[in-house]
């Protein structure tokens, strides 16, 4: 059940695209949306998480931070008003905090069911939603995270790729994924990427995938074994071949493993594909 959606924003085009997708999901689920931006101020500036002055600080710095907060609130209002959200409950939030800390705090305090984030990919590392912040949220969030690059205001999902090594317990992730599948009435394509370094016979893998599908009570699905040089490339090529609307992956975070649940594969996919990616951390 998706009742509360969090949309962290840096007011970029990709972040606006994420807000549009969140609106589309909210219209299907009746969920409320919180659009959030965290202003990171210099350590010791004396501002609390609500933007209040809590200790003696330099007056010029004080004025600068207050002006920054006012500008941010104006940017937030413009963003919210630029997207048609009629019938959807949208709340705006501007805080003084490190972005990743505020995202995690809001997820916990608000009982967030889904985070929808914009991502530019691997090139713009100086932006709020890029690189380390996106990867940290994907890796550590206690709820599913949907990353979006391109504009897709209707956000209809017909074909879903569920990529995994299917060797670990992913029940908690699958329950979230099943909810998303049911929301759109989509078909789920279970895929194992067969690589030269971890090659198995197609018949053995197909049996494992079918066992997984039965174990987790999946419906409306297909079983697929796809050969490629690397797991990430295989997922991308398979998703492109079937014209997938969404890629789903569970992640354990960065554990140093070479399998799909290592975390790095999920984060690389977020950076390198224009297809929306839904991840859930099993940590």
d(CA 8, CA 94): 10
**What is the C-alpha separation between 179 and 64, in angstroms, rounded?**
45
pLDDT at 121: 65
Model-level pTM? 0.87
pLDDT at 241: 97
What was the pLDDT predicted at 138? 84
Is 153 within the bounds of a domain? no
Model confidence pLDDT, tens digit, residues 147-162: 999 999 999 999 999 9
Encode pLDDT of 76-119 as tens digits: 999 999 999 999 999 999 988 888 899 999 999 999 999 999 98
- Whether residues 127 and 167 fall in one domain: no
* Percentage above 90 pLDDT, the chain: 60
- 108, burial (CB in 10 Å: exposed 0-12, middle 13-18, buried 19+): exposed
Q: Provide the mean pLDDT of the chain.
A: 85
Same domain? For 12 and 141 the reply is: yes
Residue 127 binned pLDDT confidence (cut-offs 50, 70, 90):
very low
Indicate whether 268 pLDDT > 80: no
Domain tally, the chain: 2
Identify the CATH number of the domain in which residue 221 sits.
3.40.50.620
Mean pLDDT value across residues 127-133: 51
| Confidence tier at 197 by pLDDT (50, 70, 90) | confident
| Tens-place pLDDT, residues 25-47 | 999 999 999 999 998 876 555 55
* Domain end residue (candidates: 109, 126, 148): 148
- Residue 154 covered by a domain: no
Q: Where are the alpha helices (DSSP H) in the chain?
A: 13-29, 59-82, 99-110, 132-140, 171-184, 202-215, 231-241, 264-272
Of 123, 148, 173, the residue at which a domain comes to its end is 148
Residues 143 and 165 in one domain: no
In a domain, residue 108? The reply is yes
16 and 46 both lie in a single domain:
yes
Structural domain ending residue among the three candidates 122, 148, 174: 148
Run of H or E residues at 95: strand 90-96
For 187, phi then psi, to 5°, come to -95, 135
In a domain, 227, yes or no: yes
The residue range of the domain holding 25 is 4-148
């Amino acid at each position: 059940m998706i009742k509360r959606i969090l949309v962290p924003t840096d007011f970029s085009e990709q972040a606006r695209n994420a807000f549009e997708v969140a609106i589309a999901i909210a219209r299907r689920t009746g969920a409320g949306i919180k659009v959030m931006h965290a202003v990171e101020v210099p350590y010791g500036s004396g501002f609390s998480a609500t933007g209040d002055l809590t200790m003696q600080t330099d007056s010029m710095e004080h004025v600068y931070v207050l002006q920054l907060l006012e500008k941010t609130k104006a940017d937030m209002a413009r963003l919210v008003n630029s997207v048609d959200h009629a019938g959807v409950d949208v709340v705006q939030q501007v805080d003084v905090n490190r972005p990743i800390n505020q995202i995690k705090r809001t997820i916990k305090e608000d009982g967030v069911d889904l985070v929808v984030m914009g991502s530019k990919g691997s090139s713009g590392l100086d932006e709020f939603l890029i690189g380390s912040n996106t990867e940290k949220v994907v890796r550590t969030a206690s709820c599913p995270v949907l990353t979006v690059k391109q504009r897709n205001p209707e956000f209809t999902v017909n074909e879903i790729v569920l990529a995994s090594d299917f060797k670990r317990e992913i029940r908690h992730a699958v329950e979230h994924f099943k909810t998303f599948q049911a929301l759109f009435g989509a078909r789920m394509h279970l895929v194992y990427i067969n690589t030269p370094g971890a090659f198995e016979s197609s018949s053995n893998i197909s049996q494992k995938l079918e066992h997984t599908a039965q174990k987790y009570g999946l419906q409306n699905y297909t079983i697929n074994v796809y050969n490629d040089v690397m797991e990430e490339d295989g997922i991308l090529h398979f998703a492109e071949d079937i014209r997938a609307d969404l890629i789903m992956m569970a992640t354990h975070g960065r554990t140093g493993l070479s399998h799909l649940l290592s975390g790095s594969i999920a984060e690389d996919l977020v950076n390198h594909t224009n297809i929306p990616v839904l991840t859930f951390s099993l940590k």
